[in-house]
Amino acid sequence: MLKYSLVGYDSSDSSQRAFRFAMELARAAGGRVRVVSVLQVIQGGADACALMMSDSAAQRTQELQQELQAIAPDTDKLVDLEITHGSPGDVLLNQIRQHPIDHIVIGHTARGTLGRWLLGSVSEDVLARARVPVTVVR
């Protein structure tokens, strides 16, 4: 039974669907959900750099907790939240080594061939390298 699911979360519709799915699994199995939000400097520019280097990360964490709470009211009982920086695929895969994760849930974002070539695909990266089951939610 899946007891500790990891969700890569970026506030997109697809990551919200992934979070809902993981929460349903956690409720059914008596498990927990680890939500990781990864900041990339190329995406956020100066704002992401400032967040990573200041104590405003606590404010972002609180905002994200409120966002998740709006999606699932029992978030405070079932969710471990982390905001970090790096390459999303690498960060998610490193979480497996650092925590007893037995399942990954990620949202699928449709990108064209050029977009995948330029930005990569987190879901493809995780699917190719994960050592635990992965669910991609559309």
Count of CB atoms situated within 10 Å of the CB of 69: 13
pLDDT at 111: 52
pLDDT at 78 over 90: yes
Token duo for residue 98: 């650092």
The CATH number of the domain where 24 resides is what?
Answer: 3.40.50.620
- Which stretch, 4-8, 41-45, 111-115, has highest mean pLDDT? 4-8
Domains held by the chain: number: 1
Between 24-28, 54-58, 67-71, 133-137, the lowest mean confidence (pLDDT) is in 54-58
Q: What is the mean pLDDT of residues 13-42?
A: 91
Task: Report the C-alpha gap between 14 and 7 in whole angstroms.
Answer: 11
Domain enclosing residue 35, as ranges: 4-137
